[in-house]
């Protein structure tokens, strides 16, 4: 690895179930990225149309391609521009930066490089296991949160199954 270059790695960024018919915007290493289901499977592109820098994530998925909401330019899962409404002649070679994307065990992973290995999922990978993903959120004051953390006996009673 040369000085200043980072090794390619996979990063979990979303649950597969969260990527449906509509595009999803995430931040990856400080950059906006749009996730969507393309003809190639899960795709991750830089979340800006090169035409007017509009967020592609505010557009829609049409025929496995993402369509910019501003002028309707479309991009395939590889980031190639495939349609420009009103354009006549050969399609220009416009592109959007593509990130490597892969789905494993219900999780979407992306990379800015080309990792040589599959993403690491868990130590029981390849074995028969029961997997449960839990999503939880709450709103409280700092004092209430501290009180709940310090009251160790309530956790097992009130939040059965989480721990």
Let me know how many helices (H) and strands (E) the chain has, helices first: 2, 10
Q: Which residue has the tokens 């990792």?
A: 115
Residue ranges covered by each domain of the chain: 11-111
The predicted model scores a pTM of 0.73
Residue 152: enclosing H or E segment and its boundaries?
helix 152-158
| CATH class of domain segment(s) 11-111 | mainly beta
Q: Give the pLDDT confidence of 53-106 residue by residue, as tens digits.
A: 999 999 999 999 999 999 999 999 999 999 999 999 999 999 999 999 999 988
Q: Give the pLDDT confidence of 100-150 residue by residue, as tens digits.
A: 999 998 899 999 999 988 888 777 667 776 666 677 777 888 888 788 778
- Tell me the C-alpha to C-alpha distance, in Å, between residue 58 and each of 23, 66, 120, 129, 156: 7, 10, 31, 38, 42
Taking the C-alpha atoms of residue 54 and residue 99, their distance in angstroms, rounded to an integer, is 18
């Amino acid at each position: 690895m040369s000085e200043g270059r980072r090794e390619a790695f996979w990063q979990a960024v979303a649950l597969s179930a969260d990527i449906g018919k509509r595009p999803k915007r995430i931040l990856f290493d400080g950059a906006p990225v749009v996730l969507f289901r393309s003809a190639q499977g899960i795709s991750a592109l830089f979340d800006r149309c090169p035409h007017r820098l509009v967020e592609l994530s505010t557009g829609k998925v049409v025929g496995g391609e993402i369509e910019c909401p501003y002028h309707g330019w479309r991009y395939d899962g590889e980031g190639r521009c495939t349609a420009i409404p009103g354009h006549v002649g050969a399609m220009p070679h416009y592109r959007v930066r593509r990130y490597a994307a892969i789905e494993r065990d219900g999780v979407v992973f992306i990379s800015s490089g080309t990792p040589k290995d599959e993403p690491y999922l868990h130590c029981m990978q390849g074995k028969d296991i029961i997997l449960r993903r839990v999503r939880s959120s709450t709103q409280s004051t700092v004092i209430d949160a501290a009180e709940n953390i310090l009251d160790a006996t309530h956790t097992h009673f009130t939040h059965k199954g989480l721990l």
